[in-house]
Structure 1
Amino acid sequence: MMKRVFGVVIMMLVMVGSVNLNAELLPTSLAITVIDNLGNIQKGAKVALYDNEDDLFNEEDAIDQGRTDNKGRITFKKLKPKVYYVRATQGKKTNEGEAEITGKLISGRKNKVNIVIR
């Protein structure tokens, strides 16, 4: 009986340890797909990621930025599991006033969001 309890305790410790290890080994990332109000992907849209609402509003101190690929996607890697602010633009189209904030990112996962520009 004691061996069985000991085995269960060891197994639980290994499982808890592997969850923490996965969170540390797998980087937290954010994959953004930019679409227009008709659902069309937006190739080459400029996307900037901000730490707070003031930086978003002033469009300064972006954590990272880039352009979407041919599928309208861009991925930001090695992020902290927190809320981020996003600005996406393509010509005169922007997401200003809509979907500018992500939910809190899940640690060790590729988090995904769609941003609609109008």
Structure 2
Amino acid sequence: MSFANFSFTNTDRTDDQIFNTNLKLTVLDEMGNPVEGATIKLYENEEDYNASENHIKEVFKTDKRGRVTIKDLDAEKYFVNVEKGDLNNYMTGNIVGPLENAKLNKANIIIN
């Protein structure tokens, strides 16, 4: 006589997981078309944004669908600068947030 003894443990406990605060930006032109290759910089405050200095993280580029995901952010508000050639988001609402902690936050940025 033979038998098998199986023991199952669930290692997917949600209280052991760490969720990061991320931001998915979609960059669109004024016609609503995605903008590939746009440069994105995030700033923690308006002074740095206005002076175009001390951006956080790195400089990001949008993919062919005009999207980029920026990971491991604080649940704060951010000033966003987007440029591609002569197109930019100056004077069109540059603040994103405050972000929700431990979530994938989403925002669209229009450049013209």
How far the C-alpha of 1:103 sits from its partner, in A, is 2.0
Please name the residue that 2:68 is paired with.
74
How far the C-alpha of 1:84 sits from its partner, in A, is 0.5
Any unmatched runs of 5+ in structure 1? 1-17
Please name the residue that 1:106 is paired with.
100
Distance 1:25 1:103 in 2: 21
Q: Is 1:92 aligned with 2:86?
A: yes
Aligned-residue identity in percent: 36
Any unmatched runs of 5+ in structure 2? 1-13
Q: TM-score, normalised by structure 1?
A: 0.79
RMSD: 1.4
Stretches of 4+ aligned residues off by more than 4 angstroms:
none
How far the C-alpha of 1:42 sits from its partner, in A, is 0.3
Distance 2:103 2:97 in 1: 13
Greater helix content: 1
Please name the residue that 2:53 is paired with.
60
Distance 1:72 1:90 in 2: 11
Distance 2:104 2:93 in 1: 19
How far the C-alpha of 1:66 sits from its partner, in A, is 1.0
Please name the residue that 2:9 is paired with.
none
1:32 maps to a residue whose letter is: L
Among 31, 34, 46, the alignment partner of 1:41 is 34
- Aligned positions, number: 98
Please name the residue that 1:50 is paired with.
43
Aligned residue for 2:47, secondary structure, equals helix
User: Residues 63-108 of structure 1, C-alpha deviation per residue, up to 9 Å, x if partnerless?
Assistant: 0321101110011110000100100001011001112001210000
Distance 2:97 2:72 in 1: 17
Please name the residue that 2:18 is paired with.
25
1:105 maps to a residue whose letter is: L
